[in-house]
Amino acid sequence: MKFIPERLNTPSIHQAFDMINEAGMSAEELEQQHKRREFIFMQRDALEKAQADGWAEGKAEGVQTGEALALQRLLHKRFGALSAEILHRITTASVAQIDDWLDRVLGAASLEEVFHEARH
């Protein structure tokens, strides 16, 4: 709507122009117009959902990375240099597993105690 002056460029004016345009359409053209709008709304909803999912996934990865780094730092300060195997276990662990290790690190006498898996 490039020909509309800025002061008239409002949602209600746009709606009025849409109504005028639709008034001159055949039933087939109206159906196509509605299908296009429905498609656009569906695409917008899908895009918004994908974006929200991406944010949630990024946030979860950030939490995992932050906790893994905190655990590595605590282990290094308490027990010295960490082996590649230990670093790999930490970086590939779930947040729940890292939380479990974080709970154990201060009371453990060795790395083995931190990473020992309880047998039921």
26-54, pLDDT tens digit by residue? 888 888 888 988 988 899 998 899 888 88
Instruction: Decide if 120 is inside a domain.
Output: no
- Considering only CA atoms, which of 59, 61, 62, 40 is closest in space to residue 51? 59
Instruction: Decide if 89 is inside a domain.
Output: yes
State pLDDT tens for residues 43-85. Answer: 999 889 988 888 888 888 899 999 999 999 999 999 999 999 9
Instruction: Decide if 96 is inside a domain.
Output: yes
How many structural domains are present in the chain?
1
Instruction: Decide if 101 is inside a domain.
Output: yes
For 5, counting Cβ atoms within 10 Å of its Cβ (0-12 exposed, 13-18 middle, 19+ buried), the class is exposed
- State the residue range of the domain holding 103: 26-115
Three-class secondary structure of residue 51 per DSSP: helix
Three-class secondary structure of residue 112 per DSSP: helix
Instruction: Decide if 104 is inside a domain.
Output: yes
Instruction: Check the CA dihedral 101-103-105-108 and report its sign.
Output: negative
Better-scored residue on pLDDT, 50 or 25: 50
